[in-house]
Amino acid sequence: MFKSLKNYIFPILVAISALALAGAAAFFSVTGLSKLFGGAQGAVIIMASSLEFAKIITASFLHRYWKTIDWKLKTYLTIGTITIMVITSAGIYGFLSSAYAETSNKLQNIDGQISIVEQKKQVITEDIKRLESSQKLKQDRIQSLISLRSQQEARVDSLYNRKRTSVAKRVEDQIDQSNKEIEKTTKEADELSKNIETKSEEVGALGIEILNLKNNDVAAEVGPLKYIASLTGRSMDAVVNFFILLLIFVFDPMAICLIIATNITLEKAGLKSLGDVITLPKKKEEEIETPIEESKPIEEPKQKVEYKSNEHGEFVQQAPEETINKEETLQILEAIKSQGIEGNKLYLTFVEALYLNGGLKIGDLLPPFIKFTEELNSRGVVYEEKEVMDFLTICNLLKITDMSGPDRRVAKDYSVAKGIFNILSSK
């Protein structure tokens, strides 16, 4: 069942993409049309939904029966489908333009707030310039008074030396007057400095407020559009309108084309509808239940088993090199080659490492793969991983190793395995 379903995966994927795109187009279209006709929103939703469903069915009907239906019906259904596509596109345009209008209004509101804050900042900046100008005049006045006072102090000493006491007293009065003027002017300059500092802090706070207004969620949403508008030299409204038109030109037409493509892929797969995937025809069920012919396992070579007695009087099997049927061995070798596995002189060395030079007997657990490769490395064997994997595959195919149970065990005697690989390695 699952193997046969592989033939229908692509038609199912095409159908899912077509229904998903058509459903999304229907949602945006119905929502957009309901906003255009807000006075009868519920009725518009029902009407638009019916039209969307009818459009999908009509497109499928036209594809399936194009050659058999009357030309008048064919013409009307074609014009009707195209008209509904235009209506759908208009609904999508209304939905997207409405969504952009909301964002645009929020952005204009934020731009207005930024403009007000910038005007306020500009007014305060002008005040700071005026205060700085007054402060400079005060500082210049202070310097002039200090210079004048220094000159008068030097004159007083000269007048007292010449015994012009009355003139010296008048000069001292002028010095006192200069001191008072300097003190007064200094206080005024200090006040101006405080005002300048306060207004500078206000300007900084307004600058932060402008940054916060610019770095809001709405500005982030339209940031790419602003960037594209600046690159193209177009207004942001023109850029948005261009993208909306691109969307509606591919949205609903693509959905209809995918609906037709679904019908084509189903026909190519031998199905009339998606329901046939669930309830396959009887013939196909039989095909599904019939297992795919897999590569037949290589039969174990028939050996002529001969025995001889050893020095202890026990009967042991003779060396396989002498008892293996050469013709059957060659057939096994050809079958192995058909699976992309070649003979290799290293296989004899692999057998010795796998059996630990005969240390393992029939029924013993095989070493893990890592231990096996470590044994090869310890023997200084230079090999590639594919060679090891091919060797283990041959062992499995020839039932030298038993992989049927939970544990991997030795299935043939060391001498038998070595004899088999001696023949394979010589080819």
- Is pTM beyond 0.85? Reply is no
Element (DSSP H or E) covering residue 9: helix 9-36
Element (DSSP H or E) covering residue 329: helix 326-338
* pLDDT of the residue at 79: 92
DSSP class of residue 39 equals: G
CB 327, CB 300: distance < 8 Å: no
CB 154, CB 175: distance < 8 Å: no
The rounded distance, in Å, linking the Cα atoms of 364 and 244 is 73
pLDDT tens, residue by residue, 125-158: 888 888 888 888 888 888 888 887 777 777 766 7
pLDDT tens, residue by residue, 309-333: 444 444 444 444 434 455 665 666 6
Give residue limits of the domains in the chain.
Answer: 2-117+219-268, 127-214, 307-425
Element (DSSP H or E) covering residue 330: helix 326-338
CA–centroid distance for 256 within its chain: 28
The rounded distance, in Å, linking the Cα atoms of 35 and 27 is 12
* pLDDT of the residue at 310: 45
The rounded distance, in Å, linking the Cα atoms of 50 and 48 is 5
In three-state secondary structure terms, 365 is strand
Phi, psi of 293 (to 5 degrees): -65, 120
Which residues of the chain register pLDDT less than 50?
Answer: 1-3, 278, 280-324
The rounded distance, in Å, linking the Cα atoms of 140 and 120 is 31
CB atoms within 10 A of CB 246: 10
Q: Provide DSSP, 232-245.
A: HT--HHHHHHHHHH
Q: Which residue has the tokens 């795109």?
A: 21
Nearest to 109 by CA among 186, 216, 15, 32: 216
HEC-encoded secondary structure of 273-316? CCHHHHCCCHHHHHHHHCCCCCCCCCCCCCECCCEEECCCCCEE
